[in-house]
Amino acid sequence: MLELPDIEKITLELVAQIPKGRVATFREIAIALGDPIAARAVGSILAQHKHDCPSYRVISFDGTVTEEQAKLLHAEGIPIKAGRVLLLNKFLFREFRSERPLQKLQQIQNDIRARMRLAPDRTEYRTVGGVDLSYAGAQGVAAYVRLELDSLRVLDAQTLAQEVRFPYIPSYLAFREIPVMLALLQRLKDQNALADMTFVDGTGTLHHRQAGIASQLGVMLDIPTIGITKALLHGEPERDLKTVAPGEICYIRIAGERAGAAIRPTEDAEPFFISPGHRVDLETAIELTRRALRSGTALPEPIQLAHNTSRHAAQALKHHSAQEHKAFQLGLFDNL
């Protein structure tokens, strides 16, 4: 379906390239991965693998080190004063050998953008679906709920769980969540069980490369999708969102063009954000979102129900795993 680089493994391999007596910053490792925005993800990965690589050689951008790092780096001949590497540029290592995997993922998003069709291919929608993902430890639990559009009556719901290995990196969230969602939606598509329009918990065109997870799912499966988010990832509102009245629309522009919209569902709720994903235009996305929004609720019904379903399934999976672990500790699994 979608082959993703093992960012964790590649990060550890990059750290292993730092020679004795040299240091690198989290940002330099992220640049070697292909995007400086991944610096926090690098820090999270190394925090989990302190003893699997010379992670003490990776330091903050300003040369700040911990007491433990200071001892190890000083032993390698790197001068430390007041908890900071002196003459940082002299000891900074940048000569990484890397294929920069994040740049390849950017290209996937750019290719998706080129293949997106932001025009509806039908005039009537009878059913809508919502897809969302929750976590149970390292497992991602995707849920898809299909509803009758006019009544918002639930027709069916399906879930799927599988391991998630890709780290959280801003603007690359799709690559963390899409494998599970893609597997579930592909199964439902094969069963002819997808709705006429699928709402996705994630962006469509309101994305740094205007190809968020709603667009990627739509293009990869060739299905109509709309992206719904509670926060604005990218774009500029046409006016102050605080002035948007309940039920009102405020368009969001990217490079001067209307790429999405904000809608405040109720007086007490914050606006949420709509963006076309694939096989739909912005105005149709807004119309369908309005129709899928129950009175007094904060999010479109397909997204809210998919969120609730995935969260409950993840909680059940956590409970099941905990019960298995407890039984194992008590010696109840004799065959293990």
- Where exactly are the structural domains of the chain? 7-99, 122-317
Q: How confident is the model at residue 58 (pLDDT cuts 50, 70, 90)?
A: very high
Name the pTM for this structure.
0.86
Q: Alpha-carbon distance 206 to 229, whole Å? A: 9
Q: How confident is the model at residue 336 (pLDDT cuts 50, 70, 90)?
A: very low
Domain 7-99 identical in fold to domain 122-317? no
Report how far apart the first and last C-alpha atoms of the chain are (Å, whole number).
Answer: 33
What are the DSSP calls for 258-297, one per residue?
EEEEEEB-SSSSPPEEEEEEES--HHHHHHHHHHT--TT-
User: Which CATH number among 1.10.10.10, 3.40.50.150, 3.40.50.10440, 1.20.140.10 corresponds to the domain 7-99?
Assistant: 1.10.10.10
Q: Alpha-carbon distance 128 to 302, whole Å? A: 7
Q: Alpha-carbon distance 282 to 211, whole Å? A: 14
Cβ-proximal residues to 286 (8 Å cutoff; 6+ apart), any chain: 249, 261, 263, 274
Give tens-digit pLDDT for 4-22.
999 999 999 999 999 999 9
Q: Are 10 and 33 within 8 A, CB to CB?
A: yes
User: Which CATH number among 3.30.2170.10, 3.30.70.260, 3.20.20.450, 3.40.605.10 corresponds to the domain 122-317?
Assistant: 3.30.2170.10
Q: What is the DSSP letter of 324?
A: H
pLDDT computed for residue 221 by the predictor? 97
Phi/psi for 315 (5° steps) reads -65, -40
Give tens-digit pLDDT for 253-302.
999 999 999 999 999 899 999 999 999 999 999 999 999 999 889 999 99
Q: For residue 328, with 0-12 CB atoms within 10 Å meaning exposed, 13-18 middle and 19 or more buried, which class applies?
A: exposed
